[in-house]
Each structure stands twice: as structure tokens, then as C-alpha cells.
Amino acid sequence: MKEKEWSSELPASPESYWQSSVISPQYEQLTGDLNVDVAVIGGGITGITSAFLLKQSGLKVALLEASRILQGTTGHTTAKITAQHDIIYHIIKSKMGKEGAEQYAKANQAAISAIDTIIQQNNIECDFSWQPAYVYTQDENYIRQIEEEANAAFELGFAAVYSEEIPLPFPVKAALRFDNQAQFHPLKYLNALAAQIPGNGSFLLENTKAVDIQTQSGNIVTTSTGFQVKAPNIIIATHYPFYDGNGMYFARIYPERSYALGITISEHFPVGMYISAEEPVRSFRSQPMDHGKELVIIGGDHHKTGQGEDTRSHYHNLLKTANEHFQVKEVLFRWSAQDYTTMDEVPYIGPLNSKDPGIYVATGFRKWGMTNATAAAMILRDYILCQENEWAPVFLPSRWKPGASAGKFIKENINVAKHLIKSKLSPAEENTKEILVGEARIIDSDGEKIGVYRDMNGQLHMVDTTCTHMGCELQWNAAELSWDCPCHGSRFSYEGEVLEGPAQGPLNKRVD
């Protein structure tokens, strides 16, 4: 049997530049019950920054990570530290008023300053550099959006400039530049913060999976090994909230995957970070590597998780863009990330619900996680310390403005229902004989749908393709070799282990 096609120009396996270029230290596992002031669940930028800031404020914290820190979306970002979030200020202003747009703007600008301050105070070597951030369009239908975003940005006091050209080697119809933005190596920065969390009554614990929160007699995090962490304050920073608290977050946020290539080019990449306003989104930035080499990161091609075409096509699309604009020498890295977006595009940061005091959430950063997560960490610190925070209101998870997001809420949940029904009815193959090396198919086994992947050694891996979250039928992700859920974004390895929540339990394995 022959291997399925995969472009020889692209790396065979996904790996982000960030993860390949640092060795993250390992941390111990929880081996007994703990009592702390704050339990922080999730070892990405939100959890690490929150735990770091809270410990700095004199509290005892325990950061719990189910596997290793910085392995999720934070390890697969494009790492732009910017308050320029493509088209957002005009949207927030029209849906939530100027005050809401101001709070979002101030929070994200403050996040840039906070990252700069932390780097300086702690002498962190993390390739930080100040850069302008551009949103541009090559499509005249988007000129109006750029103009409206420019007007909103001017009104909010950003150092922003409207123009009709950018330093990238292609013409644009309109662009908006924000000055005093930045970029860095996220793992170098966050490993330095993480190193300061353990000690003096605080803990950073890896391979410690939180499975539930009990609220009957104080807030208690229970873990998969049975140990408990008692803490009056709990921050859920697991990307998708692993504990919902009847907050119906599964119906209020939707998952998307997007892709990135790390390439070297013959030209020198111009100063700046760039993103297109139109679809398919294209994002560009550069990153210094060892020995004076420069990596160019091209990202985009997002789609709903578990929906759409063969996922390998997204890398091919990015490669086509790279070849159109640059003399590509090598494609060194490819990686993808999962992000959640709320129905009104503004993250949920604050109390999880109204009935469980002391439990906080931060999610739905809409792919702008570097600044939104840092802002979230500051906002949640202020909640816990009972300090006023002027940016907090726009992010309140309890907001529900039907006029602002009802249409999108209905659309997204119809999309989920459609996939739930459609996938149950979709036809399945009858046997495994035709499955090629490197290929996966869904077969019918006595009326049950089984996902079968044939690995490079010809061995079959068979799992029940019913998502263990709410029962949607999974789709194969050929680029990452995973089974992905089209409903709320859970992802499983071809052997059935959970790669991304909200699902907690693995898929049932099947035998041939």
C-alpha cells in the first residue's frame, strides 16, 4: 500500500518554531492535597501570567497543568504583542458602545506595557522588539472596513496611521498601522515567568489533571489522581473552560483552527507585523533565529475545527502565498493552533457564573492571545485582590446582549446541531482493506462508526468516532493526524487520547 500524498516541500511533522527552539524545564506532579490562596488551572500564557502576578502580589498559588506547560495554543501562536486585532474597534464600538471599545483598547495597550515591564524588571532574553502592526486589504470591498477601523482607532487615541501602502512586496488598497506594538519569543518569556512560580508556599505542577471543581464547602479542585487543591479562588485558564459551572460556554464560544509556516527567504523581511482584513486571512512577521538567520512566519487559512476540506490543503495554501511574495529558500516549520471566539468577539474574563463566588474564567481571545491573556491575568488578579479594574466591565462573562450577538449565537448553534445530525447520517466505508498507509477513513462495523488510521508501518488504529463530550461524530484531520470534533472543538489522537477539550474522556478503542 502506498503512502498518501504530502508535499515534499513541507515538513513531514508539525512542530512550532517556539517549541523546537527552547527546552522547557519539567515540573513535579501533585503528590498530596494542597491549601493555597489561588488555584490556577492551565499552563498557557493566561495561567502562567496569572500565577506569576498573583504570587508577586503576595498570594500563595498552585498552577495545575494536565500535561506539560506551554504545549497548547500558547506554544503554537504567531506571538504578536499588539492591540491591533485586525478589525475590532469599529465592531465593539457599534455593538457595545465607545466605552466598551475604550476598555478593550486600554486593556490590550496596558498588556503590551505590562509585558515590556516584566521583561525589563526580570532581565528576560526573549527576542522582544518594538514593531508597527498593520492591518491591510488588497480587496476594494474592504477599504470601507479599514477606514471605519481607522476612525475608531483615532477616536480611541491610538497612535495609528491610515495609508495605501505597506512595506511588504505587494500592493494594497488600504492599510492601518498601529505604532509601538511588539513581538517576542513567547516560550522564552513564559518559561522565565513560570520559573518564578514555585517556592515559598506556591507550586507549579505538571501532569496534574484537574477533573472537577466542588463548591459545596469551599472551592476545591479535584484531580485525576484523587488529590485535592483547596483554594478560595480558582482561575480556569484551560482555553476551553474544563468546568462549565452551568455557564453554557460550549454554546457561547466556537473553535477554529489556523495554520502557520516558518520559512527562510532570500530577501530581508521588512520591519512590521501584518494581517489581512479579508479572507483567506494572511498574517506575516519575522523572527530572529540563531546564527543571524531570520525566520518568516506566514499564518492564516482558519476554519471551524473538524469542518472543511483536507486539512493539509491549508499548509499548501500558505506555501502558495509564500511563493507568490518571496523567494522561499526552505520551509523549516509548520504548525497549527486552536482558538476560541465568543459570539460578540470580546473575550470572557471574570467570574465564571453568578452562583460560584471565587471561580474565574478567561477564554475566547479570538486568536489575539498574547495581549488578551496578559490583560486577563491583570483583570483576574484585581478581582481576587478586590481592586478596581477599569477595563473589566467589557469582558464580563455574564454579559448577554441579544442585540449584539443573538444572530451569531443562533447561527453557531445551528451549525453544531447540523453537524451532530449530518455526521450521524453520513455514509461509512465497509472495510479496512482499501485504507492506504498514512490514510484514515470511517468504516461501518455492525452499524457502529469506527475511525481507522493506518500508520506508516501499516498498523491500523481503530477508535469509536463518537466525541466523548456531547456525542458529535468526529472528522479526520490529515495534517495533524487527529480526530477533531466539529461541534465544540475537542480533538483526539488516532489512538483516542484527548488532545484538546472540552472532552475529558478518551475515545473507546476498537480492534480489527
Residues of this chain that interact with ligand FES (CB under 6 A) are 467, 469-472, 485, 487-490, 502-503
Q: How far is the CB of 340 from ligand FES (least distance, A)?
A: 12
Output 102 or 500, the one with its CB closest to ligand FES: 500
Output 234 or 467, the one with its CB closest to ligand FES: 467
503 Cα distance to chain centroid: 16
CB 310 within 8 A of CB 478: yes
Output 222 or 504, the one with its CB closest to ligand FES: 504
User: Reading across the β-sheet that carries 482-484, which strands appear in turn?
Assistant: 475-477, 482-484, 491-493, 498-500
Output 255 or 358, the one with its CB closest to ligand FES: 255
Q: How far is the CB of 412 from ligand FES (least distance, A)?
A: 13
Q: How far is the CB of 300 from ligand FES (least distance, A)?
A: 24
Q: How far is the CB of 242 from ligand FES (least distance, A)?
A: 12
CB count within 10 Å of CB 391 equals 22
405-to-91, 345, 376, 470 alpha-carbon distances in Å: 11, 9, 22, 24
Q: How far is the CB of 490 from ligand FES (least distance, A)?
A: 4
In whole angstroms, how large is the CA radius of gyration of the chain? 23
Report the alpha-carbon distance of residue 486 to residue 165 in Å, rounded.
39
Output 175 or 485, the one with its CB closest to ligand FES: 485
Output 378 or 487, the one with its CB closest to ligand FES: 487
Q: How far is the CB of 356 from ligand FES (least distance, A)?
A: 22
Q: 34-35 and 228-230 as β-strands: parallel, antiparallel, unpaired?
A: parallel
Question: Per the omega criterion (within 30 degrees of 0), is the bond before 502 cis?
Answer: yes
Q: How far is the CB of 343 from ligand FES (least distance, A)?
A: 17
Output 344 or 473, the one with its CB closest to ligand FES: 473
CB neighbour list of residue 138: distance below 8 Å, 6 or more residues apart: 170, 171, 172, 173, 276, 278
